[in-house]
Amino acid sequence: MPADFSDEAYASLLDAGLEAGYTFLTVREYLSRERLPKQFLIVRHDVDRKPMNALQMARIEAVRDIPTTYYYRIIPKTFRPELIQQTERLGHEVGYHYEDLDTADGDLEAAHDSFGRNLRRFRRLCAVDTICMHGNPLTAHDNREMWTGEYAYADYELLGEAYLSMDFEDVTYFSDTGRTWEDGPLKVKDHTMGEGDKQVQVDTTWELIELLSTQNIDRACLLIHPNRWAGSYAELLAERTKDAATNVVKYGLQLRP
């Protein structure tokens, strides 16, 4: 059995979804379709770093004719125009992984000024119809709070936001944050808003594969961070070490009074 969080494990996860008969939808398709399939998977990628890993995943998906959604940060190490355009050419949706409330230190007006400029930069490269916030566990702000009061997605000709515009009472949400698929204290800001009671939990990718293979859920959204998955043992070991150190910090944050 391949190591968890390896490219081989990711390919096995995709194959399990195909073999079980799930339809794969992008976030754009989910928000724009008048009717949804009975069974579907939405695969969402937050590209926090390592954009070449994202491109590798996009290729793994493309050979299986699976469309997914990639949200790229605007920071220099991830905002790589040629890689973003290659991702879209492979048949995937590309969106903006925004963190403007963080960078504006909570100033809502300044955050929207920044958001508008950054969104225009993305749209010069590709079609952007949906967005998704970046959740930094070390900051005091939640970027989703940008969408309060007078501010609306329609002002930017957007269909919606991946955390805020999906019905998570109907769609079961799984995230690899913390190097586990199980909900808990490691998901500091990576959680849905107004989510219904989740009836099922899994820890490893192999448990998630089993869940899909037995069709115990009809509709799910999977958040996968490309930087967490590796194509070599050396990279896999390095990412395990980074995640272990980050998790220590996250547990410490949970213990603060």
What is the full DSSP assignment across 30-91? HHH-SS--SSEEEEEEEESS-HHHHHHHHHHHHTTT---EEEE-SSTTT--HHHHHHHHHTT
In this prediction, residue 152 carries a pLDDT of 95
- 234: which residues sit within 8 A by CB, 6+ positions away? none
Residue range 26-36, pLDDT digits in tens: 999 999 999 99
Q: Which of 101, 162, 160 is nearest to 136 (CA)?
A: 101
Of the pLDDT bands very low, low, confident and very high (cuts 50, 70, 90), residue 249 is low
Identify residue 203 by its one-letter amino acid code.
D
How far apart (Å, rounded) are the C-alpha atoms in residues 106 and 110?
8
pTM greater than the 0.85 cutoff: yes
Stretch 175-196: mean pLDDT: 72
Topology of domain 7-255 in CATH is TIM Barrel (3.20.20)
Q: Which amino acid is at 178?
A: G
Q: What integer pLDDT is reported at residue 215 of this predicted model?
A: 87
Q: Domain boundaries in the chain?
A: 7-255
> Does residue 209 register a pLDDT over 80?
yes
